[in-house]
Structure 1
């Protein structure tokens, strides 16, 4: 095995494009690992730590392709990456003359003066400056970029508030604006439910479920994960909430976040109560009685947030999503456990969606199971070694610890699939819980690689597998096609993440009773 790299000076590509190219060349025969990144100091350090190159001469405006594998395979990977980077078709006018490249937001606005949203996906060191430029040009901002300091985020969002604009982000991965999916978003119907969310996969879960229930989305606005911290004060959520309250196309509003700072939560809930429209709030893990007030309905799960929003829209009975399996579901789970030896006792969760991991931990706790995680909720423990599960374990494979120099598992599920295989081969595992996230930017066929691995294992020796597929029929990957493929391989597929987590807890309870153990 050898490592090779190639540097392209002053060539920028957004992070999603780079992750997709990394995923493609990583799958070439003879390639052990590969990474396509901008040459920032952090990225170069990560390439070094991964064994993909020492002393790479590249600056933050340069693009680096680094590969490790067999000689011929490395050259093929470098050539393919180079080809992908140069594959964009040139735009020409009617006279065949190529239009000049747009190299600034000012040039873009001159060409499209009606534009009012800038999507920023540059290295974090430069993202704040670009966001300020966009705001000063009168534009709203979606910041896909991460690694932006809290101080910079506060300054950007304070300026946005002064300019009466919204900043979605930093690290905002999902939004739907005027029916257009941005980042990792799904194809959903237009409708009358508006969403403001501090979680990308949380927004995806709620928008997809609303679509499946026959309703639609007016707008889905992301805020970035730090927006509801005490330092930022919920600036973007408060702006988005007010915008949806004033939007005649929005009849019901949904707010999604992990628990905010107490003072921030109160400020948001006061504004929600004054919105003049029904507002559903899902602050994951918060007590419903701390949220509920006139005009504001608390949701206990992401699925419930969607269910309640649709019920409020249709003026039907309000019901929370069930957090216990019914008799038929319990019978199904008992049947699935019938051949498992009593020694298989443990829950192992492997997630691409960070919010799905968070919600699953909360629900497993409610059913009596504390767990270890690389991103533990309150009451759970930090996993000592992220590469080795211990006891009940729920892992967020999309966390930075797993994605440094590698594509996110939503784009390339290879690393996630290997972790699932490891959990399947652990003789103590009773149930493996995982998600598939569909939509734009995600893997073209996220189930395929996993099913190839499952086909190599004797099904009689497998623990129970429970999955949740987040997506819609209109997504490029087609939700039902993914579900059918999983079920054909023996995977139990739940309707939503919450149900999947509850079912996994039920399997562990069934197994615990076999030898008289308690949770």
Structure 2
């Protein structure tokens, strides 16, 4: 396919802007793929991996913007390049005022004396330097940037701790501070429950389930996924717990993460014992006895953690719609699948959602593979084919280097939906659709063509394939929750009400009667 590369010298865009630009450019008719990225060595490697590397890209400096366009057959490449550049320059017509641009963190602080937090989304190579400048200005930091070294993370968090500030991240995608959602966040009712989370979509799922069960969130503090590693030591998780313990608007504290390193878990349990407020802990796959021994409430899943927190906050349990598992539905779907269709393929945008569903399926089946697996025998890379029960987090760094997050630009997942439908042993394809600020403005609409094609492939071969969709969002989110669900149902998608139910339903659908 024809490829054209445009290099814009000394032209910088932050990570969030690049995601938006790439999404806009990839939606143009006739474009096979567009990669918009800074000219760093890592981004050049991405171009090589996807077949878009050119001599022009080789010559780009790390401060240059690379725009690489590949056209579909039958389309004029020059015309497409013009459309891509026009799309990139297009201003949002709904904006009433222009963006204010500052030359430095110091200049921004000088013009905004009441500012107390900086959101950093520059490429990882520069993020630590900018974060340190923000800390020196007395600002809390939320680092959306990833690919920040472990040494830099430790140094920044130690400095922040000494100054009484937060460094949320790196690779922190979600926070709600004083009612304001940052980066990827849902619109959540204000309430009494504070959350500290070392996961983005896990934090979103807990906050959304709290809202769904009639509770509300006071604060949601993200820490970044490595915070609970032995090297980092849980610095921000512990500081977040202490802050919520002192916060007058917080009455219940929820902790969300994958299991911490043993030494870090001991620190957390020790801190729990010092806190007079109820603490609910959801460490996906964590040890129930250890958690309860600390005096905390155990939440096996994000849904169960949210339910416990809401009940503790004073919402009468009898008034809560717990969305019990639909057992007749399981039998109905099982009857549609033939004996050969015994596998689940979970294709997710959210890492914690993927981890939680995988954990629930692994309780029932041993042949479960994932790019998130800690067991090398069951770990897949981003280039591996699916096998047996496979669960993929498309938001993992391997998939997002040089590309937008799938919550914004889902093309890689769309291709995989169709591919998995061709496997005659697949009975269920499970998907998450994540709403909220920062996410695609209409994620179901862009996913429907792949869903329809998957169903058509199976039907042509005389098979039923069950598409199980989990919409993560609230009725307050900008994408219109009810409309997103309706579109999926109209396309024959079965709707799950939570991450937990997605795991339980999918594993039940493919269960076979023993001979």
Q: State the TM-score bracket (shorter-chain normalisation).
A: over 0.9
Q: Which residue of 2 aligns with 1:414?
A: 411
Task: Find the counterpart in structure 1 of residue 125 from structure 2.
Answer: 125
1:74 and 1:297 map into 2 onto residues whose CA distance is 59
Q: Quote the RMSD (CA, aligned, Å).
A: 2.7
1:489 corresponding residue in structure 2: 491
1:453 corresponds, among 450, 454, 457, to 450
Distance 2:321 2:212 in 1: 15
1:506 aligned onto 2:508: yes
2:82 matched residue in structure 1: 79
Q: Which moved more, 1:458-467 or 1:124-133?
A: 458-467
Given candidates 358, 363, 367, the residue that maps to 1:361 is 358
| Equivalent pair of 1:3/1:53 in contact (CA under 8 Å) | no
Aligned-residue offset at 1:299: 0.5
CA contact 2:210–2:306 (8 Å) conserved in 1:
yes
The answer to whether structure 1 residue 397 and structure 2 residue 394 are counterparts is yes
**Which stretch of structure 1 is more off in the superposition, 67-76 or 477-486?**
67-76
Q: Does the Cα contact within 8 Å between 1:172 and 1:222 map onto a contact in 2?
A: yes
CA distance in 2 between counterparts of 1:488 and 1:425 reads 22
Q: Which runs of 4+ in 1 moved over 4 A?
A: 70-73, 315-323, 377-380
Specify the alignment match of 1:442 in structure 2.
Answer: 439
TM-aligned CA distance change 1:108 to 1:363, over 3 Å: same
Determine the C-alpha separation between the residues in 2 that align with 1:148 and 1:487: 41
CA distance in 2, matches of 1:115, 1:65: 34
User: Any gaps of 5 or more consecutive residues in structure 1?
Assistant: none
Closer, same or farther: CA 23–122 of 1 in aligned 2, 3 Å: same
What does the per-residue CA deviation read over 1:62-121, in whole Å, with 9 as the maximum and x for residues that have no partner?
A: 21111111585543443344334434589x999xxx998411111111111010101111
CA contact (8 A) 1:468 1:494 kept: yes
Change (3 A) 1:279 1:380: farther
CA distance in 2, matches of 1:380, 1:309: 37
Q: Is the 8 A contact 1:424 1:462 kept in 2?
A: no
CA distance in 2, matches of 1:508, 1:339: 10
Deviation at 1:380, TM superposition (A): 6.5
8 Å Cα contact 2:417/2:450 also seen in 1? no
Paired with 2:439 and 2:317, the residues of 1 have a C-alpha distance of 35
Change (3 A) 1:61 1:318: farther
Counterpart-to-counterpart distance in 1, 2:209 and 2:293: 25
CA distance in 2, matches of 1:399, 1:270: 32
Query: Are 2:465 and 1:463 aligned?
Result: yes
Which is further off, 492-501 or 13-22? Answer: 13-22
CA 379–483 in structure 1, closer or farther in 2 if over 3 Å, else same: farther
After TM superposition, give the deviation of residue 175 of structure 1 in Å: 0.8
How far residue 425 of structure 1 moved from its aligned partner, in angstroms, is: 2.2
In 2, the alpha carbon distance for the partners of 1:201 and 1:2 equals 37
- Alpha-carbon distance in 2 for matches of 1:102, 1:83: 24
Judge conservation of contact 2:30–2:80 (CA < 8 Å) in 1: no
How far the C-alpha of 1:209 sits from its partner, in A, is 1.1
What is the rounded CA distance, in whole Å, between the counterparts of 2:303 and 2:29 in structure 1? 41
Partner of 2:170: 170
Whole-Å separation in 1 of the counterparts to 2:382 and 2:110: 52
Structure 1 residues 156-195: Cα deviation after superposition (integer angstroms, max 9, x where no partner):
1111011110100001011111111111111111111111
1:277–1:295 Cα contact (<8 Å) kept: no
CA distance in 1: counterparts of 2:224 and 2:208, whole angstroms: 19
Equivalent residue number for residue 388 of structure 1: 385
For 1:334, the equivalent position in structure 2 comes to: 331
Please report the TM-score for the alignment, with normalisation by the length of structure 2.
Answer: 0.92
Quote the offset at 1:58 in angstroms.
1.9
Q: What do the CA deviations read for 1:175-226 (whole angstroms, capped 9, x no partner)?
A: 1111111111111111111111000000110111111122211111110010
